[in-house]
Amino acid sequence: MEQKKAFLDITVSICPYCGAPYADASWYVIELESDIECGVCGETWNPKTYKVDRILLEFVLDDKGNADNKNCLAYHCHTCNLALRVKRFDRVPAGITHQSDP
């Protein structure tokens, strides 16, 4: 049986004011060219301008469509020293809320 997979396209960027690394969905950074406010220094900047990498993350899915914990992946961006690790949450972490589309 062929493995089912899901993908997430992300863009890695660096805050030009304080150097904080960010990983955001590429549609938000590249397609919409949206500005963000840095959570570290509070400055507003455009991550597309300060993009250092674009990564396609791959998730192997089990037969129910859930991410297979045995196949979690890690990525390290050597340009900005940002380590990305995929972690599966069995519940939504505290502080994260879901907002429906209008």
Residue with tokens 């502080």: 95
pTM for the model = 0.65
Query: So what's the pLDDT on residue 74?
Result: 56
Euclidean distance between CA atoms 49 and 35, whole angstroms: 10
What are the tokens at 101? 């589309």
DSSP secondary structure, 39-82, as one string: TTT--EE-TTTTEEEEEEEEEEE-TTS-B-GGG--EEEETTTTE
Residue-wise pLDDT tens for the chain (102 aa)? 677 888 888 888 999 999 998 889 999 998 999 999 999 999 999 999 999 888 887 777 888 887 766 555 555 555 555 555 554 444 444 443 433 333
